[in-house]
Amino acid sequence: PNFVAGRLGQAISLDGVDDYVEITGYKGICIADPNDPNSVQPAFSISAWVNTSGNGDIMGWGSTAGGSSRVEFRINEDRLRCESGGNVQGDNTLPDNEWIHVAVTVKENATISYPDVKLYLNGQDDTRKTTDPDALNVVAGYDVTIGRRHSAAQRWYSGLIDEVRIYERALSDAEVAWLAGRIKPFDNPF
């Protein structure tokens, strides 16, 4: 990947062929012990600025041992999608070749359904109101990746990604809207 002028400061430019970023040694936010029935999936949120005209994985982590043992935040059929066995999709088609703010929030012990999982486009809830009874239990496995599927060399992202953030809690609607309204980069999390 290359660094280029971004939405806020610099962004990474990914070619959609073989560029991606791996956060070596960081497994993401995962269930503490998948074999303990009392262990719960912690809440988390992902946010980023993206500029693309195609589909591809924005960020993902987890294992491929079972359907819901991973999380993938991506663009699929020109809509936002959070996938983990089942999936939650966005309502609106993403605009091509312009900066947009995207986010996903996941409540503690979530199922792959609204309102446990919410997608945001430019600070507004963009979640297609679906239900999926599958529990989200992300298991430590592959390192966190940006710009392609975390477990395989596929679903490459083509375009720019800026201000990627992972939070160890589900952000509120107001916090996501605040992130989407930022005009300067910042170093301090909430």
Query: What is the pLDDT, as a whole number, of residue 185?
Result: 67
Report the CATH number that the domain containing residue 143 is assigned in CATH: 2.60.120.200
Q: H or E element: which one contains 50?
A: strand 44-52
Query: What is the pLDDT, as a whole number, of residue 21?
Result: 96
Query: What is the pLDDT, as a whole number, of residue 33?
Result: 82
Least confident window among 48-52, 113-117, 175-179? 113-117
Phi-psi region of 15 (alpha: psi -120 to 50; beta: other; left: phi over 0): alpha
Phi, psi dihedral angles at 178 (to 5 degrees): -65, -45
- Asked whether residue 188 is assigned to any structural domain, the reply reads no
- DSSP letters, 97-109, are SS-EEEEEEE-TT
Domain count, the chain: 1
Token pair in block for residue 116:
């446990």
* β partners of residue 84: 86
Q: What is the mean pLDDT of residues 41-55?
A: 95
Buried b / exposed e along 130-154 (16+ C-beta atoms within 10 A): eebebbbbbbbbbebbbbbbbbeee
- Asked whether residue 186 is assigned to any structural domain, the reply reads no
More confident residue, 141 or 122: 122
Q: What is the mean pLDDT of residues 45-53?
A: 96
Q: Mean of the per-residue pLDDT values for the chain?
A: 90
Cα 129 from Cα 126, distance rounded (Å) = 9
Token pair in block for residue 43:
């809440």
Least confident window among 66-70, 155-159, 164-168? 66-70
Cα 13 from Cα 10, distance rounded (Å) = 10
The boundaries of the domain holding residue 175 are 2-180
Tell me if residue 180 falls in helix, strand or coil. helix
Q: How confident is the model at residue 141 (pLDDT cuts 50, 70, 90)?
A: confident
Rounded to whole angstroms, the maximal C-alpha distance in the chain is 47
Q: How confident is the model at residue 44 (pLDDT cuts 50, 70, 90)?
A: very high
- Asked whether residue 119 is assigned to any structural domain, the reply reads yes
Query: What is the pLDDT, as a whole number, of residue 147?
Result: 95
| Closest to 42 in 3D by CA, of 150, 138, 134 | 138
Please state, for a pLDDT cut of 90, what percent of the chain lies above it: 65
**What pTM was computed for the model?**
0.92
- Asked whether residue 187 is assigned to any structural domain, the reply reads no
